[in-house]
Amino acid sequence: MHRSAPRLTRILACAAVPVMLVVAGCSSDSDGEKDKASSSSPAPEATKSEAMVAAARFAELPDPCKSITASTAKSLVPAAKDKNGTPGRSSDTAARGSCSWNGLDDNGIKGSQYRWLDVGFTRFGSDQSLGSGADRAGDDLTKQIAKAKAAEGAKKLDAAPVSGIGETATRITYDLDKTGEDFKYATIVARTGNVVVTLTYNGAGYAGAKTPSADDIQKGAEKAAKEAVAAVATANESKKVGASPEPSGKASDNATKKATDKAAGKAAGKTIEKASLTSSAKPSAKSSAKDAK
């Protein structure tokens, strides 16, 4: 009985070894699965990069005084003090600019007609913290419309959307008593891309002259506004992708191809010349037979 005790102890110890190995193996597999799951899990939201805002469509503004054609400016303001327009002051002409035409057309005893035309541009760039240029321009469009509607002393005020001028546009019309005369006003506020165009046209009859019709003032404003919006696109034509020079890599490939073709042509020419000389140096089979006779 005393001799069997040590033997039993050894048997139990040996039997325990596989169990420990299995446990160790399971523990190792479990840790591996945890590491694998950890590495494949998605990154926290905080580490994801913020979405970039859309790039601004227009990088330049037109010359405000050239945004309205000379013929249109003359028809709307016949007796302008400066037919080329008077530019407004701006500390940053790439972001904002304006121009105006005004004059009194004196018709003697028939009275006089006064006209005023003003156009302004504001360009907004895209900013990661402020938003895209188009969105910022949209916000400014709303502000400019509200400003036009808030004209002090305005009567018969009316605001309505107008089509065919930029991506979106609103027309604001009203009457205003000024300097003892009845003035007719029309303001067009339009957005094209990241640029806001604000154009105002007004007029009045002096010294007994007939007051201009609201319809004429409205049509004149819309015509000038269309030209101003079109001028924005024209000023940015040179910025189009199609106007960029050919990439250096492509130009290099073309140059290499031309050089290779030229070299191949020279080699082919030399081969033909050599063959021709060889052929002329050897008599033909018929000639040799004739000479032998």
User: Where in the chain are the domains?
Assistant: 64-204
Tens of pLDDT, residue by residue over 131-147, are: 999 999 999 999 999 99
What local confidence, expressed as pLDDT, does residue 6 receive?
A: 53
Q: Cα(257)–Cα(265) distance, rounded to whole angstroms?
A: 12
Q: Cα(11)–Cα(27) distance, rounded to whole angstroms?
A: 25
What local confidence, expressed as pLDDT, does residue 7 receive?
A: 54
Q: Can you say how many angstroms the Cα of residue 108 is from the centroid of all Cα atoms in its chain? A: 51
Q: What is the residue whose two structure tokens read 């938003």?
A: 131
pLDDT surpassing 90 at residue 96: yes
More confidently predicted of 245 and 109: 109
What local confidence, expressed as pLDDT, does residue 240 receive?
A: 58
User: Cα–Cα distances in Å, from 160 out to 149, 157, 170, 171, 226?
Assistant: 11, 10, 6, 5, 16
Tens of pLDDT, residue by residue over 190-201, are: 999 999 999 999
Instruction: Report the top-level CATH class of 64-204.
Output: alpha beta
Mean pLDDT of 77-81: 97
Tens of pLDDT, residue by residue over 245-260, are: 333 333 334 444 444 4
More confidently predicted of 130 and 19: 130
**Are 102 and 78 contacting, i.e. CB atoms less than 8 angstroms apart?**
no
Q: Cα(293)–Cα(223) distance, rounded to whole angstroms?
A: 100
Q: Which of 63, 68, 69 is nearest to 235 (CA)?
A: 63
Q: Looking at the whole model, is its pTM more than 0.85?
A: no
pLDDT surpassing 90 at residue 34: no
Mean pLDDT of 181-206: 97
User: Cα–Cα distances in Å, from 209 out to 110, 113, 182, 236?
Assistant: 6, 7, 11, 43
